[in-house]
Chain A
Amino acid sequence: MVSPILELTNINKSFGHVQANKNINLKINKGTIHGIIGENGAGKSTLMSIVFGLYQANSGSIKINGKEINLRSPRDSIVNGIGMVHQHFMLVENFTVLENIILGFEGETVFGEKLANAKKDLEKLCKTYNFNIDLDATIADLSVGFRQRVEILKSLYRGAEILILDEPTGVLTPQEVDELFKILRSLKDEGKTIVLITHKLIEIMDLTSEVSVMRQGEMVGHTKTKDTNKEQLAEMMVGRSVLLRVDKKEIKKGEVIFKVNNLSVKDDLDVARVKNINLEIRSGEILGIAGVTGNGQTELLEALSGIRKVESGNIQLFGEKISDQDNFLNPRMLKEKGLAHVPEDRQRMGLISDFKAHENLIFGYHDQEPFSKSAVLNSQEITEYSSKIMQEYDVRPNSPNLITSNFSGGNQQKIILSRELNENPKVLLVGQPTRGVDIGAIEFIHQRLIDMRDRGAAILLASVELDEILSLSDRIIVMFDGKIVGEKENKNVTDRELGLLMAGVA
Chain B
Amino acid sequence: MSNIVVDKSKVPWWVSNVIVPLVNLTLALLVSGLFIFIAGENPIEAVKLIIFGSFGYIQGFAYTLYYTTNFIFTGLAFAVAFHCRLFNIGGEGQAYIGGLGVFLVAINLSFLPIPIVWLLSICGAFLFGAAWAYIPAYLQSKRGSHVVITTIMFNFIASSLMIFLLVDVIRDTNQMAPHTVKLPEAIWLPSFEAFSGILGIKIRYSPLNLTFLLAIASLFFVWFLVWKTKWGYEMRAVGHNTQAAIYAGISPHKNIIIAMCISGGLAGLLGVNEILGVSHKIQAGFPAGYGFTGIAVALMGRNHPIGILPAAFLFGILYQGGSEVTFEMPNITRYMFVAVQGLIILFSGALENLFRPQIESFFVRRLNKEVNA
Contact = CB atoms under 8 A, between A and B. Distances in A.
Interface in B101-132: none
Contact of A376 (B229, B234, B248, B250): B229
Interface residues of A, number: 32
A335 B249 CA distance: 9
B39 interface: no
A95 B113 CA distance: 69
Contact of A364 (B236, B243, B249): B249
Given A375-B229, A375-B230, A403-B9, A352 B247 contact: no
Interface string A97-118: 0000000000000000000000
A22 to B, nearest CB: 21
A349 B244 contact: yes
A379 B228 contact: yes
A57 to B, nearest CB: 15
A107 to B, nearest CB: 29
Nearest to A306: B249
B19 interface: no
A334 B230 CA distance: 19
Contact of B231 (A305, A307, A349, A375): A375
Contacts of B230: 366-367, 372, 375-377
A129 interface: no
B241 A307 contact: no
Contacts of B8: 406
Contacts of A348: 241, 243-244
Nearest to B7: A406
Contacts of B244: 348-352, 363
A79 interface: no
A197 to B, nearest CB: 27
Nearest to B224: A376
Contacts of B9: 402-403, 406
A330 interface: yes
A343 B247 CA distance: 8
B233 interface: yes
A147 interface: no
Chain A CB within 10 A, most for which of B233, B237, B246, B249: B249
B240 interface: yes
A131 interface: no
Interface residues of B, number: 20
Contacts of A333: 249
A331 interface: yes
A332 B249 contact: yes
A376 B233 CA distance: 10
A364 B229 contact: no
Contacts of A375: 229-231
Interface string A166-188: 00000000000000000000000
Contacts of B231: 375
Contacts of A55: none
Contacts of B237: 352, 355, 363
B8 to A, nearest CB: 8
Interface string B218-258: 00000000001111011011001101101111110000000
Given A331-B247, A332-B249, A377 B228 contact: yes
A483 to B, nearest CB: 26
Contact of B229 (A334, A351, A377): A377
A226 B251 CA distance: 54
Contacts of A332: 248-250
Q: Which 7 A-B pairs have the closest CB atoms?
A: A332-B249, A364-B248, A331-B249, A406-B9, A349-B247, A352-B240, A352-B241
Given A349-B244, A363-B248, A375-B230, 15 more contacts: A331-B249, A332-B250, A334-B249, A351-B244, A359-B233, A363-B237, A364-B249, A366-B233, A375-B231, A376-B230, A377-B228, A377-B233, A379-B228, A402-B9, A406-B9
